[in-house]
Amino acid sequence: MPLTSMCDCPHTNGAKSEHRLARQRKKSRISSLAEPGEEGGGDRSESQDALSAAVELGVDTSRFLTRRYVVALSLIGLVLLGSHLYLTHQLSSSRGDAERINRSGMQRMLSQQIALRAERILHAEDPQAARTERAHLREHITLMADNAAFLNAPLLDGAYSEAVAFAYEDAGGLAQANDFLARANRIANGTASHAEIRAFADSAAQTLESSNAAVLAHQGAAETRLSTFVRIEQGLLALGLLVLLLEALFIFRPMVSLVGKTVRSLAETNTELEALAYQMPHDLRAPIASAQGLLSAVEDELEDAEVAGASSLLRMAQESMLRLDHIVSRIVEVVRVLGTGNRPPPAWVELDEVFEQAAAKVAHLRDDVDVRIKSTQLRAWVSPSYLEQAVDNLVSNAIKYADVSGGCAFVELDTVEQPTEFLLRVRDNGIGIPKTQRAKLFGMFKRFHPNVASGNGLGLYLARQSARALGGDIFYSACEPGSLFELHVPKAAPDTRPTEHAAAQLGSLS
Amino acid sequence: MTTPMRILVVDDSPVDRVVAKHVLKRTFPGAELAEAQDGVEALELLDAEPFDLILLDLNMPRMGGIEFLEIWSKRANETSPSIVVLTSSGQGADRDAANSFAAVSGFLVKPFTTASAASLAEYAKPQALRKVRT
């Protein structure tokens, strides 16, 4: 098989790939959607499994996005609700401010009106004028008493601010008001002496001062409440903006990123499927057309009685049919790897044995290649068939393209254990991949050295798809001489891999 | 003495080259046949030797037929050989792509047989066919 494949950008930096691997794994799951089915009765099942996987992926993404939206909107809702509750509370507590300021101002005005009425009673020219003034005085007193009852109620409930309470209580405002009303009542009732009326009228300036203090106290309390309200509203606004910023950073940005990646992944998958749809008819038809041409040539030879020539051409036709059979088999493998339903279960796999078996499978191809397996005795908890599919293709390619011209063709196989993954390395001393061709290295039906070895150009594609089915990937790097392929196989999480003993028990049960 | 007609078969499949040579020998007896397995080898041969007709596959590694045509079209002149595309792909896109080059005079879909090769006479230039007749 031709050294094929290609990766988008060959590199050996495994650390960078974990994020990409997850995406590629999902991509592979989607890719299976439009792949042709397996032979016979497997078609419908494979197709349904692929469809189910795609639907599952869509549902997962939808759930993820929905959860993020719910969290984001809930946070915004909480901020709005908090702001509303606080605003309602403030409006409720401020509802009487205007009336209190108005009534306290009215008290100030009434205190002066009452003093003025007292002055007029004192200087009334006749009893009728005095009675009239007393009637007005009583009206003022009634209104002032009503206002006092309104303004004093919160004082009794302790609902006033400290400044207002001080004006009424500590500064003597309340006592003064009560005394003022009592004296005014005596004047209105005609029981006050002339001297008392005189003293009452003269005390108007003092009453004005305490009334002023009460008005200013109410006004100050309202302004203080308003400024506090403004500050807290600013705080809520800042909190809301902060929440939006945090959501943008930690919710919306990851969501946009996820959507973008999903779209790119779908676009890549679509491109891959289009390429497959374009290329597959050609590669399937090529061996058929060759066989048809050969059989036509056989007919010509037989007409000329050239039996030997006809026989030779028939053998070639047979080889073309074998080639077609091989291509179809590999396409079936592609479908199996890309299919997501009924994934083979994981098991403990001896990595040395995987290399040994892969080399043994292609040992008949060449006997001039020194296959060197460095034993590491490492075990991985993976799906064996996917791992074998990937390793078989890499080892097969390496052996086919190992270069004996330097005197010793070799292939080196070893495994490196890293904290989160195993690195299975396949190196050969072959002719490598030209720089300009590396971008296509892992593509379908890609062949780079058809004159060196035969193949259908699916080997490296299959290897990479298998690696991705394991949650890993394959990367190529050129080395002198030859090529190095690194198969990244992530380790299973400790809580998902049983001990070997437990795995054996599970195996016996199944 | 007239030089024989020279035909270059460009195809990455050894089997298809065998078939092509078989058919061409029967269709154009006496013609000289050469083969290349991709566009790169074809350009090298065309630089070194004159040809009257080129049978060109499209899907080849290293340099495919369309890429070859893009390069060859810049060099071709009136005396350049006729080019007949011979491919296993009958897709319209391939046919359109190939026919967009003036150097391409014909498009055949495999399998290549003595029957389908008869149409090559329509595509080859008159002087090339005269070589065959002599």
- Tens digit of each residue's pLDDT (9 = 90 or more) over A81-112: 988 888 888 878 777 778 888 888 898 899 88
The beta-carbon neighbor of A293 closest among B26, B89, B110 is B110
Tell me how close the Cα of A459 comes to any Cα of chain B, in angstroms.
16
- 10 Å CB burial of residue A23 (0-12, 13-18, 19+) is middle
The per-residue pLDDT for A28 is: 39
Q: Which residues pair with A347 in a beta bridge?
A: A382
**Does pLDDT of B22 surpass 80?**
yes
Cβ contact (<8 Å) for B89 and A281?
yes
The per-residue pLDDT for A254 is: 82
- Comparing A211 with A488, which gets the higher pLDDT? A488
Residues of B near A (Cβ–Cβ under 8 Å) read 12-13, 15-16, 18-19, 22-23, 26, 37, 59, 61-62, 87-89, 91, 93, 109-115
The beta-carbon neighbor of B88 closest among A285, A313, A446 is A285
Mean pLDDT calculated for residue range A259-277: 75
pLDDT in tens, A228-252: 888 888 888 898 888 889 888 888 8
Mutation choice for A interface testing from B22, B66, B87 by most A CBs within 10 A = B22
User: Which token pair is B49?
Assistant: 């030797």
Position A446 confidence tier, pLDDT thresholds 50, 70, 90: low
Tell me how close the Cα of B12 comes to any Cα of chain A, in angstroms.
8
CA distance B36 to B108: 18
The beta-carbon neighbor of A289 closest among B18, B37, B110 is B110
Alpha carbon separation from A456 to A322, A345, A444, B9, B36 (Å, rounded): 12, 29, 9, 22, 20
Averaged pLDDT score across all residues of chain B: 87
Cβ contact (<8 Å) for B15 and A281?
no
The residue in chain B having the minimum alpha-carbon distance to the alpha carbon of residue A309 is B22
Contact of A433 with A2, CB cutoff 8 Å? no
Asked whether the whole model's pTM tops 0.90, one would answer no
CA distance A438 to A453: 18
User: Which token pair is A378?
Assistant: 């490492």
Residues 6+ apart with CB under 8 A from A497: A346, A348, A381
pLDDT in tens, B79-93: 889 999 999 877 788
Cβ contact (<8 Å) for B37 and A450?
yes
Taking each helix axis from N to C terminus, what angle separates A307-338 and B14-27, rounded to the nearest 10 degrees?
A: 140
- For residue A285, the chain B residues in CB contact (below 8 A) are 88-89
**CB-side neighbour CA atoms (13 Å) of A381:** 15
CA distance A344 to A340: 9
Mean pLDDT calculated for residue range A488-492: 90
Position B21 confidence tier, pLDDT thresholds 50, 70, 90: very high
Cβ contact (<8 Å) for A296 and B91?
no
Cβ contact (<8 Å) for B15 and A297?
no
Buried b (16+ CB within 10 A) or exposed e, A333-370: bbbbbbbbeeeeebbbbebbebbbebbeebeeeeeebe
Question: Looking at residue B10, what DSSP letter applies?
Answer: E
Q: Parallel, antiparallel, or unpaired for β A421-428 and A473-478?
A: unpaired
